[in-house]
Amino acid sequence: GWHNEGAHTYGYNDISLGIAFIGDFTGRSPNAAAWAALKLLLHFAVKDGYLSSDYLLMAHGDVSNTISPGQPIRNVLKTWPHYKH
């Protein structure tokens, strides 16, 4: 739920929302439905006050030494206006 703290990224768990695509995306991007679901989740998180409208979007590998979420995902995220890195 919105009020639970995850254990996704050390040092950021209490100030962030962790979102994951299920699968291995080191060689391919998630499908269009997955991207649409992420956009809707972010939209409603802002609309309902769970996420600030000036949120920063970062990939797991931007704050931890990991290849997650994979370069294909990073290539898409870096084109989004809230992406920071």
Nearest Cα to Cα of residue 28 among 60, 75, 63:
75
Cα–Cα distance for residue pair 33/38, rounded to 1 Å: 9
- Write down the pTM of the prediction: 0.84
* Cβ-contact 26, 67 below 8 angstroms: yes
From first to last of the 85 residues of the chain, give the pLDDT tens digit. Answer: 787 788 877 777 888 888 899 999 999 999 999 999 999 999 999 999 999 999 999 998 888 888 889 999 999 999 999 998 7
Q: Dmax over Cα atoms in the chain, in whole Å?
A: 35
